[in-house]
A and B are shown apart, each in its own frame.
Chain A
Amino acid sequence: MADGRAAAQLSEAAQSELLDICEEQFAQLEKLQNEIILCEPDFCENPQEQSVKRLIATEAELKQWSTVEPQLLAENSEILLEAGKEEMHKLCSELEMVASCFEAKRDKLKETKELILQDIKEKIQKMKVYQERLMESLAYILEKHVPLPQEDSSTNKKKKNVPHEIHENLISLNEILEILMNKALNTPHDPYVAIDDTFWPPYVEMLLRYGIAVRHHENNFKLRLETFF
């Protein structure tokens, strides 16, 4: 059914054509209406048993739609132009609505992304601080209880009877551990550290005995950090 249009903009010819189309459609409508009224009314069945009727009606509608062919609203180009313009306006406003909706969504997502990033950064910061403190504590403890072996006095609490041939640049246990840790973290595919004279053998033995480090299975002069408990 053609909708009421602002007829003021159309020429007389277009107006009269529109009116003719409307009259045609209305006549058609009245004809169909009469057919409907004359149709036998349904017996009053239980409203719950609608499924079959619904199926039949839907199928009939489907058939109708599949046979209908697209046709021009009217032959007059003026009418078509006006109708087209109106459709375009409607479409534009609907699309604008959709666009603004998606923009709002996008902004909201960005915001949540920002928040999450912030969160993670803070967590990383906290972890870094924690790790610093742990390392400091470790260094402190080692310094107090496991200092570098001195040449003259046996300050090694393990009291190993090792001949004091210590003239090399021995590194402290702290440093040994640091070397092992760094190697394991930086090159996980090759965590092995080659032992040289700067590693005081008793320390090495201690680490091996307590399962903190293990030797390379082929090369006894290589050592790596082990996951220990």
Chain B
Amino acid sequence: MSLLKPFSKLPGLNTANILLVESEEQFQQSLADVLVEETSVTVNVRLAKSLPLPMENDESRPRIDLVVFIINLTSELSLQSAEASLKYLDPGYFLGKVCFMVTNARNASAPAERLDAVRKLAASLHCPLLFAENQTPDGVASATERLLTILKVAAGLVPIATGLYVSNLTRCTLPLDIDQPSFD
């Protein structure tokens, strides 16, 4: 099974690599355009429809610092594709190098159960859950900013803060955490 591994390659200098996984391949494009405009750090954006990533690029691909799953709440396929892709990530990624981003949360055609399912998923994996508005440039810009904050930490570019540390603080929680596994 070709797992994507978090630490199998050396990091680049002052570089952060982000992988955007979206089955609809729309929002990831506009996000990518804004992400690369960041000046203080060299941001490399890789786009994918789903995991696993093609083997041919394995050698040339840099080490991925953050994997973002973009889920469109109006499409069941989007959620299923993301869930299926999770299996192809090395478990080491879930210690602060994975993030979920959800779009169309306010859309009337998005059933509430789907959002609940995404929340449960993010909470069980202890990953942050971001809500983004993908129709306006402002929405894209603010989503980018938030991603960059998490990305910089995951890439080790922020002193003192590590991905694990921050993800413990920003993880998604459910209103009633009865189902959460406890640390007993």
| Nearest chain A residue, comparing its CB with the CB of B124 | A48
| Nearest chain B residue, comparing its CB with the CB of A44 | B1
Extra contacts besides A50-B126, A54-B126 (13): CB < 8 Å: A1-B13, A4-B14, A36-B7, A36-B8, A37-B8, A44-B1, A44-B3, A44-B91, A47-B86, A51-B182, A54-B95, A57-B95, A58-B168
Interface check B181, CB cutoff 8 A: yes
Q: Is the CB of B164 within 8 A of A57?
A: yes
Closest Cβ–Cβ distance, residue A143 to chain B (whole Å) = 67
Docked complex: B82-99 residues within 8 A CB-CB of A = 86-87, 89-92, 94-95
Q: Is the CB of B162 within 8 A of A55?
A: no
Interface check B108, CB cutoff 8 A: no
Q: Is the CB of B14 within 8 A of A30?
A: no
Closest Cβ–Cβ distance, residue B88 to chain A (whole Å) = 10
Q: Is the interface of A mostly helix, strand, loop or mixed?
A: helix
Interface check B45, CB cutoff 8 A: no
Residues of B within 8 A of A (CB): 1, 3, 5, 7-11, 13-14, 86-87, 89-92, 94-95, 124-126, 156, 162, 164-165, 168, 181-183
| Nearest chain A residue, comparing its CB with the CB of B180 | A51
Docked complex: A5-59 residues within 8 A CB-CB of B = 29-30, 33, 36-37, 41-42, 44-45, 47-55, 57-58
A3 to B94 alpha-carbon distance, docked (Å): 27
Chain A residues with Cβ below 8 Å from B181 are 49, 51
A61 to B96 alpha-carbon distance, docked (Å): 13
Closest Cβ–Cβ distance, residue A24 to chain B (whole Å) = 15
Chain A residues with Cβ below 8 Å from B95 are 50, 53-54, 57
| Nearest chain B residue, comparing its CB with the CB of A39 | B7
Count residues of A near B (Cβ-Cβ below 8 Å): 24
Q: Which of A41, A51, A61 contacts B162 (CB 8 A)?
A: A61
A1 to B92 alpha-carbon distance, docked (Å): 22
Chain A residues with Cβ below 8 Å from B9 are 33
Chain B residues with Cβ below 8 Å from A29 are 10-11
Q: Is the CB of B168 within 8 A of A47?
A: no
A58 to B126 alpha-carbon distance, docked (Å): 13
| Nearest chain B residue, comparing its CB with the CB of A64 | B162
Knowing A44-B1, A58-B168, A61-B165 are in contact, say whether A50-B94 is a contact too (CB < 8 A). Answer: yes
Residue of A1, A37, A50, A54 contacting most chain B CB atoms (<10 Å): A54
Closest Cβ–Cβ distance, residue A47 to chain B (whole Å) = 6
Q: Can you list 27 residue pairs at the A/B interface with Cβ under 8 Å?
A: A3-B14, A4-B13, A29-B10, A33-B7, A33-B10, A37-B8, A41-B5, A42-B90, A45-B91, A47-B86, A47-B87, A47-B91, A47-B94, A47-B125, A48-B125, A50-B91, A50-B94, A50-B95, A50-B125, A51-B126, A51-B183, A53-B91, A54-B94, A57-B95, A57-B164, A61-B162, A61-B164
Closest Cβ–Cβ distance, residue A7 to chain B (whole Å) = 14
Closest Cβ–Cβ distance, residue A20 to chain B (whole Å) = 16
Q: Is the CB of A30 within 8 A of B91?
A: no
Chain B residues with Cβ below 8 Å from A58 are 164-165, 168
